[in-house]
Amino acid sequence: REVADEHRCSSIHWLFCTDDERRLLERHGFAHRASFQFHWHNQGYADFEAFLATLTSRKRKQIRKERRRAQEAIDGAAFVAGPDISHAQLDALDRFYRRTTNLYGGRQYLRPGFFEALLEEVPERVRFYEARQGGAAVGGALFFETAQGLYGRYWGCEREIQFLHFEAAYYAGIQRCIELGLPLFEAGAQGEHKLLRGFMPSPCHSAHWMRHPAFDRGVREFLREEAMGVAQHIRMLSEYGPYKAEDGQALPCEVGDEGEAAGD
């Protein structure tokens, strides 16, 4: 509140807070908002095939086909650690990002030079998944890696290659988490197509403070109703997951005080 007063802010928004953080913020007058993203959770799989074994036969065959088609269309691919990423690879990543935003009508809010600056700030966390063909990068994705998990953000390609998006943005990341023992893979916001590839709906939290009392009351009323809808949506999506019944991934059950998400 002191920061808001000092800078004459009308509101404060705390995004992607932990359960403990959002409960603390609620005690200090913040309103809780429930949402969800699709996350992949490592169940201690020995390898990628062990992960596939937990899926239904149809989904298992689909993923194998998509990986095979993508890998056959390129000469090779690998994760490159931040300190080893070359200027040419940074240029490729920038091209991929701008081509994707141009194709899908997105706004290019990352200025030229952003990826270079990123490497200067946190080189130890940056990973570039590079797919190569004919000695040049034809597709790739940006990731951040910590002991807590792998976080995918930007994907793009020089030209369309069937299923390369799924390989670069999802399957290669899952395989890396398994090989390194990372517990979590967040492949970015949105995308119900992630559900069929092993990413289950997982609750996310944010906390919000509004200075104007009437506005605050209206927002809180909306958030209470929204939380019930979010919990219902998570339950519905969870029924369409790719896992066999005996291997279904357990989900965090807490969405908010007003609703419960699907649990064990």
**pTM for the complete prediction?**
0.88
Helix, strand, or coil here: 18? coil
Q: What is the pLDDT at residue 57?
A: 96
- What's the rounded Cα separation, in Å, for the pair 10 and 90? 39
Q: What is the DSSP letter of 212?
A: S
Q: Residue ranges of the chain with pLDDT lower than 70? A: 246-264
Rounded Cα gap, residues 125 and 206, in angstroms: 24
Q: Does domain 55-182 have CATH number 3.40.50.720?
A: no
CA 72, CA 28: separation in Å to the nearest integer? 55
Evaluated on CA atoms 81, 85, 90, 96, the torsion sign reads negative
* pLDDT for residue 129: 98
- Whole-number pLDDT of residue 252: 46
Q: Using alpha carbons, select from 125, 92, 97, 126 the residue that is nearest to residue 111.
A: 97
* φ, ψ at 34 (rounded to 5°): -100, 140
Ramachandran region, residue 188 (left: φ > 0; alpha: ψ -120 to 50; beta: rest): left
The pLDDT, as a whole number, for residue 4 is 84
Strand-strand pairing, 200-210 and 31-41: antiparallel
| pLDDT score recorded for residue 75 | 97
The dihedral over CA atoms of 94, 95, 97, 100, expressed in degrees to the nearest 10, equals: 180
- Residue 255 has what pLDDT? 56
pLDDT of residue 54: 97
Can you give the residue ranges of every domain in the chain? 2-40+201-260, 55-182
